[in-house]
Amino acid sequence: MAYDTTTGYIKHHLLNLTWGKLPEGAKTCDGETVSQASWQIAHCADEAQQMGFMAFHLDSLAWSGGLGILFCLVFWLMARKATTGVPTGMLNFVESIVEFVDNQVRDSFHGRSKIIAPLSLTIFVWVFLMNLMDLVPVDFIPTVVMDWGLGIPYHKIVATTDPNITMSMAIAVFLLIIFYSIKVKGVGGFVGELTLHPFNAPNKFAMVFLIPVNFVLETVSLLAKPISLGMRLFGNMYAGEFVFILSSAMLGAWQALGSVPWAIFHILIITLQAFIFMVLTIVYLSQACEDTH
């Protein structure tokens, strides 16, 4: 694929394959005015921007969904092969992952729930697989989908470099936090947690004065959990993808000179980010299930 400038190369590789509704009166990539609103694939950044919030990143959805299905299929097949004997090969690898995640849940989660361990396993493996796609050469997939007859203008395969994906996962965790907080503590206990902490006073009049202060502080603390959870993963993976793209743009045929060392180091990053997302999820849900106050 040929690009006029290095900036054009970088911008192209950082754009998602966007499908959305191009509104009436919008400008197309050719400078023409759209006479009637229509749903279509964006062929440039301006078209994607004009589609607004209600647009879909088809590449992120396809890769995240496909890797999720792959994870479920592999673990299901390994579960069918499990026996009481000593595991070998792929089964041994899968059981090691399950045992590792189970130990993390036992150490960090102090409540009672049958869903936390499967949820943690899903998060760790799914996020790791999405992160792992960052090691695929940055030019390979865009070349395949554009130059080999498919005609797709943009394509990103690292779903975790898309804030829509990372924040969707974080919001799902946030909803579980709210659910378990209300389930364990009740509505009154949850409201009390937001209004009676962290500042307390024996005097009732002073306590009434502190309630708005507590509510603001606790609400900010609560909302910071999904935001930090999703944006941390997105920021780290987007930065890593940007380094790969930048080294490819600057070094050209010699891109392996800069990409290979970073890829080796990046193996640690993609694993660590999946681990952090899983552990923070366990910790947040453990806090939600505590009823000691």
Q: Annotated active-site positions, please?
A: 228, 232, 236
- Where do the DSSP E strands lie in the chain? 18-22, 38-41, 55-57
**Using alpha carbons only, what angle is made at residue 80 by residues 79 and 86, rounded to the nearest 5 degrees?**
70
d(CA 75, CA 95): 9
Quick check: 177 and 284 in contact, CB under 8 A?
yes
Which ranges in 148-203 belong to alpha helices (H)?
A: 163-195
Quick check: 5 and 148 in contact, CB under 8 A?
no
d(CA 51, CA 58): 14
What's the one-letter identity of residue 41?
I
- Give the residue among 247, 233, 236 at the shortest CA–CA distance from 13: 247
Residue 154 φ/ψ, nearest 5 degrees: -135, 150
Q: Print burial letters for 148-187: b (CB count within 10 Å at least 16), e (below 16).
A: eeeebbbbbbbbbbbbbbbbebbeebbebbeebbeebbee
Residue found by looking up tokens 């004065």 in the block: 209
Gyration radius of the chain's alpha carbons: 23
Asked, as a colleague might, if the bond just before 118 is cis with ω within 30 of 0, I would say no
Structure tokens at 37: 């609103």
Structure tokens at 67: 């890797």
